[in-house]
């Protein structure tokens, strides 16, 4: 019922978007002011209707209305409130709605701040993207043609042929299937909204570029578009950072970047957007590069639509760990990207001849040439990554059923490109602020080059770098850091507000240094035995059972409880046990490892967690998820997780035993004659007898309670026995019962066995020997191999991950500084114009 209302509001929103599309187009065409303000109202109506629809969806989620497929699929009763809220954009449909909501707010800003002649055409393009996005969620069925998938569809609508729906059309599940545990992370709550803010803002330069082609005003559009592009880039960068940080801290992927198609999909628009910013800056400063600026602004948004297509249409299904499921939107998504591409690139080519081009070529040593080169390098890097990511499409030209490219493909191509970029940033930044000849440039760069050489040589020696390629890379990265620092020092004296660009370029250099240190020089933590074993593997001395040489080194080690082990010749690591708790996740174990540096540094602890994934565990199979502990340091991070433990193994055995529930009688029959385990021992009162690893002490007899005994009991007595496992000192006290009773004039003994669960041992009091004041015990399970508590640890030491974050923060800071500067200048200029007009 409420869902139907939500569905109607969505439909209303879609209809107003379509209406606004026509009115904006007409008002742009006729320059009709009145119509434009009606269009603005339609835009607001579209947003308001969508807001209500979103509110309804959130309400359905919060009130656990599981008859709705979306609610059932992404939430459950036990989900915390904040995650219930974020489940709104947890699925494909909701994330489209969030994207449109972000664009709506951006559109309000555009309506408020955009001036003639751009407003109507810009809003037309914005509305066009909204029509496409909203069409993905309207869920209309027109003459069998399915348009979009509504978040308000019920389970009955989703799968009308399911047997339980056929039996009972009003079936409402008692609980939802729940949100994936891995996504219950604060990082995952903020990552999607930030990325959609970035997507929404990246639409703005695209809209302005189209508007400039439409109105044939090729100069002014970048003034309002530049701050939006900077803001979009800042959002995307923040979102990429959050995603990387989440992957590193929460998932056991082992790093912050894996060249996964979905990761690449957010990186490529960022790279193209950055290329666009470079071109826009040249255009603003020198009135050149109009063609590149318009082209890149168009391409950045097409990049976003293309990645949306790749991740949501199901083409990447086999290649990515986290692509969306195919909702049958393939056709709509394809249409979306085709329309955007044809409109963007087609219009661009149509106007190409009219676009202003510079009268004479710029010289190599000019800021225009250098900035343009930077822009092109960024574009090339973006294209390389697009080609890699598009392997399911482009790869078909080479093979059937293509796999994704090896990681090496990305590394091999990006490395030389970023090395060239690093050199260009320094020369470009110097030329950006002053004119130089080759001689004067060489002069000003002498000191930075000297410092770079010193820093590089130090890094190479301290880091034991052997690879010449890496040496060049390190030199280039240091040059970017030091050379741009020189620019900043100079600018600070003269124009401190303009340091944004130089700050970005330092951040880029720092990022490069962090990436090489943390990825190439990551080392596994290992104990001595494993390290020696790996050395033998490297020499080709280890063979598997079939006689093939083993090639993969072992990258984990085992720790036994309370036995310190030397790790990497650096720490004595001791496993001190685990604690089980139910918060925040039921059944989680927190393991405790003590690290004592052998050179006398201060001791520290690491507490990795393992927890059962409740959404997917079943009665006979627990699925365990590891939550790594990352110890962040300035010099290096230690990344560690528990890959296996005695507790987990026992739990698994317990659960699978419970599941199979083998009939006991069958087992006993088969083993009846053998019973190798059973042993009979005789102990005198107060004496101790050793058997295997155990010792048995017979303390005394104790009386047995009447009611425990069978009828007609003649003798009924208990013995107090202490059983100790000698290696560990664990001990239990048992009081087995022995009774003799008569039935039909015959004597029987009654001796129920007692079980000591944790050792899998049974103790049976089988006879009393009064003459020697002894008892006879029958013990089963003495051969039980007692196992010390152990854990299996996977750990890595990653140098300078902190530097990666530092580089990212510097980039964010640089973009923020530039954003504020361009924004405030635009505002001032606009106010000036308004005053003049008035």
Partner 1 sequence: MKPKLIFGVLSIVLFTSLLMYNFGNSISTYVNFEQAADRSSSHVVGTWYSDKEYGFSRETMQFSFHMKDEDGNVRRVVYPRPKPNNFEQATQLVVIGELRNNTFHANDMLMKCPSKYNDPSEAEFTQAEEF
Task: Give 321 or 454: the residue with its C-beta nearer to partner 1.
Answer: 321
Looking at the Cβ atoms of 171 and 823, the one nearer to partner 1 is: 171
CB of 73 to partner 1, least distance (A): 6
Asked if 164 touches partner 1 (CB under 8 A), the answer is yes
Quick check: 252 binds partner 1 (CB under 8 A)? Answer: yes
Reading the block at residue 776, the tokens are 């006879």
Cis peptide leading into 117, omega within 30 of 0? yes
Beta-bridge partners for 163? none
For the window 753-792, what string marks contact with partner 1 as x by the rule CB under 8 A? Answer: ---------------------------------------x
Q: What are phi and psi of 197, to 5 degrees?
A: -60, -45
Q: Which helix (H) or strand (E) holds 306?
A: helix 290-312
Reduced to 3 states (helix: H, G, I; strand: E, B; else coil), residue 821 is: helix
Please enumerate in sequence order all residues whose Cβ is within 8 A of that of 105, keeping only pairs 6 or more positions apart, or say none: 47, 200
CB of 265 to partner 1, least distance (A): 13
264 is a site residue for partner 1 (CB under 8 A): no
Contacts by 728-735, CB closer than 8 A, 24 or more apart: 728/786, 728/788, 730/758, 732/756, 734/763, 735/702
Q: Please, what is the minimum distance in Å from the beta carbon of residue 421 to partner 1? A: 15
- Name the residue among 90, 62, 69 with its Cα closest to residue 151: 69
Q: Closest by alpha carbon to 734, among 725, 717, 721?
A: 721
User: Contact, 332 vs 147, CB < 8 A?
Assistant: yes
671 binds partner 1 (CB under 8 A): no
Taking CB under 8 A as the rule, which mask of x and - marks residues 793-812 in contact with partner 1?
-x------------------
Min. distance of Cβ 576 from partner 1 in angstroms? Answer: 20
Among 3, 47, 90, 501, binds partner 1 (CB under 8 A): 90
For strands 688-691 and 694-703, give the pairing: antiparallel
Of 66, 92, 813, the closest CA to residue 504 belongs to: 813
Q: How many residues bind partner 1 (CB under 8 A)?
A: 69
Q: Which residues of 310-334 are buried (b: 16+ CB within 10 A; e: fewer)?
A: bbbbbbbeebbeebbeebebeebbe
Report the candidate in 340, 434, 128, 375 with the shortest Cα–Cα distance to residue 229. Answer: 375
Pick 409 or 521: Cβ nearer partner 1: 409
Give the per-residue contact string, 63-82, with partner 1 (x = CB under 8 A; - = no).
----------xx--------
Distance CA 800, CA 634 (A): 7
Q: Considering only residues 177-206, where is the footprint of partner 1 by CB under 8 A?
A: 177, 179-180, 182-183
- Based on the shown chain and the rule CB under 8 A, indicate whether residue 322 belongs to the binding site for partner 1: yes
Quick one: which segment of 88-96, 267-275, 507-515, 810-818 binds partner 1 (CB under 8 A)?
88-96
CB 102 within 8 A of CB 197: yes
Q: Which is nearer to partner 1, 51 or 172 (CB)?
A: 172
Q: Which listed residue (413, 479, 578, 591) binds partner 1 by CB under 8 A?
A: 413
Near partner 1 in 613-642, by CB under 8 A: 613, 616, 621, 623-626
Residue 364: Cβ-neighbour burial (10 angstroms; 0-12, 13-18, 19+):
exposed
Of the candidates 197, 257, 199, the residue with the CA atom closest to the CA atom of residue 385: 257
Site string for partner 1, 545-564 (x = CB under 8 A): -x-x---x-xxx-x------
Instruction: Copy the structure tokens of residue 528.
Output: 């001595």
Asked if 417 interacts with partner 1 (CB under 8 A), we say no
Scanning residues 291 to 320, which ones bind partner 1 (CB under 8 A)? 317-318
Shortest CB 134 distance to partner 1, Å: 20
| Contact by Cβ (8 Å): 473, 516 | yes
Told to check if 251 binds partner 1 by CB under 8 A, we report: yes
675 lines the binding site for partner 1 (CB under 8 A): no
Q: What is the 3-state secondary structure (H, E, C) of 186-224?
A: HHHHHHHHHHHHHHHHHHHHHHHHHHHHHHCCCCCCHHH
| Three-state DSSP class for residue 344 | helix
Decide if residue 644 touches partner 1 (CB under 8 A): yes
- Check residue 402 for interaction with partner 1 (CB under 8 A): yes
From CA 309, how far away is CA 458, in angstroms rounded? 46
Shortest distance, CB of residue 311 to partner 1, whole angstroms? 9
DSSP 8-state symbol, 656 = H
Which H or E run contains 246?
helix 222-249
CA distance 261 to 402: 14
- Paired strand residues for 577: none
* Residue 364 near residue 427 (C-beta atoms within 8 A): no
Which of 148, 244, 344, 388: binder of partner 1 (CB under 8 A)? 388
Nearest distance, CB of residue 15 and partner 1, angstroms: 28
Does residue 685 belong to the site contacting partner 1 (CB under 8 A)?
Answer: no
User: Hey, what are 707's tokens?
Assistant: 């009611």
Q: Does residue 173 touch partner 1 according to CB under 8 A?
A: yes
Stretch that binds partner 1, among 128-136, 169-177, 293-301, 808-816 (CB under 8 A): 169-177
Given candidates 175, 678, 733, 833, which one binds partner 1 under the rule CB under 8 A? Answer: 175
Q: Does 447 bind partner 1 (CB under 8 A)?
A: no
Residue 47 found at the interface with partner 1 (CB under 8 A)? no
Among 80, 141, 406, 708, the residue binding partner 1 under the rule CB under 8 A is 406
Burial of 563 (0-12, 13-18, 19+ CB in 10 A): exposed
689 binds partner 1 (CB under 8 A): no
Does position 643 interact with partner 1 (CB under 8 A)? The reply is yes
Would you tell me which residues interact with partner 1 (CB under 8 A)? 73-74, 87, 90-92, 155, 159, 162-164, 171, 173-175, 177, 179-180, 182-183, 251-252, 317-318, 321-325, 327, 380, 384, 387-388, 391, 394-395, 397-406, 408-409, 412-413, 546, 548, 552, 554-556, 558, 613, 616, 621, 623-626, 643-644, 792, 794
């Amino acid at each position: 019922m409420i869902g139907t209302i939500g569905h109607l509001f969505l439909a209303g929103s879609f209809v107003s978007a379509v209406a606004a599309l026509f009115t904006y187009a007409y008002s742009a065409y006729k320059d009709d002011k009145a119509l434009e303000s009606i269009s603005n109202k339609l835009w607001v109506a579209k947003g308001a209707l969508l807001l209500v629809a979103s509110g309804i969806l959130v309400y359905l989620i919060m009130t656990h209305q599981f008859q709705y497929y979306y609610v059932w699929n992404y939430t459950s009763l036990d989900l915390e409130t904040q995650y219930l809220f974020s489940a709104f954009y947890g699925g494909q449909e909701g994330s489209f709605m969030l994207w449109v909501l972000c664009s709506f707010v951006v559109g309000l800003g555009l309506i408020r701040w955009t001036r003639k002649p751009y407003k109507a055409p810009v809003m037309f393009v914005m509305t066009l993207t909204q029509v496409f996005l909203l069409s993905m969620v309207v869920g209309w069925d027109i003459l069998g043609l399915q348009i979009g998938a509504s978040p308000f569809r019920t389970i009955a609508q989703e799968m009308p042929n399911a047997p339980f729906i056929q039996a009972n059309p009003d079936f409402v599940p008692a609980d939802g299937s729940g949100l994936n545990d891995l996504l219950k992370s604060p990082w995952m709550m903020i990552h999607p909204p930030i990325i959609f803010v970035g997507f929404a803002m990246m639409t703005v330069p695209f809209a302005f570029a189209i508007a400039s082609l439409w109105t044939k005003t090729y100069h002014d559009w970048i003034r309002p578009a530049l701050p939006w592009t900077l803001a979009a880039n800042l959002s995307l960068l923040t979102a990429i950072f959050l995603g990387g940080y989440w992957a590193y801290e929460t998932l056991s992927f082992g790093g912050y970047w894996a060249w996964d198609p979905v990761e690449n999909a957010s990186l490529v628009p960022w790279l193209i957007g950055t290329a666009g910013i470079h071109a826009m800056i040249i255009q603003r400063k020198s009135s050149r590069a109009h063609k590149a600026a318009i082209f890149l602004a168009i391409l950045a948004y097409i990049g976003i639509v293309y990645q949306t297509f790749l991740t949501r249409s199901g083409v990447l299904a086999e290649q990515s760990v986290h692509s969306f499921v195919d909702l049958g939107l393939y056709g709509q998504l394809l249409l979306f990207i085709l329309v955007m591409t044809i409109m963007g690139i087609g219009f661009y080519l149509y106007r190409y001849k009219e676009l202003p081009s510079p009268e004479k070529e710029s010289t190599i040593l000019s800021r225009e040439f250098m900035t343009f080169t930077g822009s092109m390098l960024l574009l090339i890097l973006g294209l390389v990554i697009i080609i890699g990511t598009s392997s399911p499409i482009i790869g078909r030209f080479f093979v059937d059923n293509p796999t994704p490219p090896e990681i090496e493909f990305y590394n091999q191509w990006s490395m030389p490109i970023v090395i060239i970029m690093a050199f260009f940033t320094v020369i470009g930044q110097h030329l950006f602020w002053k004119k130089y000849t080759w001689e004067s440039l060489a002069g000003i760069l002498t000191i930075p080059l000297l410092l770079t050489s010193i820093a590089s040589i130090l890094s190479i020696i301290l880091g034991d770098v052997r690879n010449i390629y890496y040496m060049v890379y390190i030199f280039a990265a240091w040059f970017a850091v030091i050379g741009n620092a020189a620019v900043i020092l100079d600018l600070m004296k003269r124009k401190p507000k303009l340091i944004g660009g130089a700050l970005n370029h330092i951040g880029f250099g720092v990022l490069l240094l962090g990436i090489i240190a943390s990825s190439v020089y990551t080392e596994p933590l290992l104990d001595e035995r494993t390290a020696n074993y790996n050395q033998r593997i490297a020499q080709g001395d280890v063979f598997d059972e079939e006689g093939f040489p083993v090639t993969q080194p072992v990258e984990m080690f085992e720790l036994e409880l309370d036995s310190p082990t030397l790790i990497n010749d650096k720490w004595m690591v001791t496993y001190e046990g685990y604690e089980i708790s139910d918060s925040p996740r039921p059944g989680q174990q927190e393991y405790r490892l003590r690290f004592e540096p052998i050179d006398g540094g201060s001791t520290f602890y690491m507490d990795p967690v393992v927890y059962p994934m409740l959404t997917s565990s079943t009665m006979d199979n627990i699925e365990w998820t590891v939550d790594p502990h990352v110890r962040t340091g300035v010099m290096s991070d230690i990344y560690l997780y528990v890959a296996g433990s005695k507790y987990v193994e026992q739990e698994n055995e317990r659960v699978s035993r419970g599941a199979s529930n083998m009939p006991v009688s069958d087992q006993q029959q088969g083993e009846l004659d053998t019973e190798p385990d059973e042993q009979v021992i005789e102990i005198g009162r107060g004496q101790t007898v050793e058997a295997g690893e155990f010792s048995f002490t017979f303390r005394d007899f104790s009386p047995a309670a009447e009611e425990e005994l069978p009828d007609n009991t003649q003798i009924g007595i208990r013995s107090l026995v202490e059983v100790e496992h000698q290696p560990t000192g664990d001990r239990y006290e048992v009081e087995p019962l022995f009774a003799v009773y008569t039935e039909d004039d015959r004597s029987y003994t009654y001796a129920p066995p007692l079980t000591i669960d944790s050792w899998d041992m049974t103790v049976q009091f089988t006879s009393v020997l009064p003459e020697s004041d002894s008892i006879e015990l029958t013990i089963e399970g003495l051969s039980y191999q007692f196992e010390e508590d152990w854990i299996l640890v996977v750990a890595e030491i990653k140098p300078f991950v902190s530097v990666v974050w530092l580089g990212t923060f510097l980039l964010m800071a640089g973009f923020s500084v530039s954003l504020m500067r361009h924004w405030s200048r635009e505002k001032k200029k606009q106010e000036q114009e308004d005053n003049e007009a008035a």
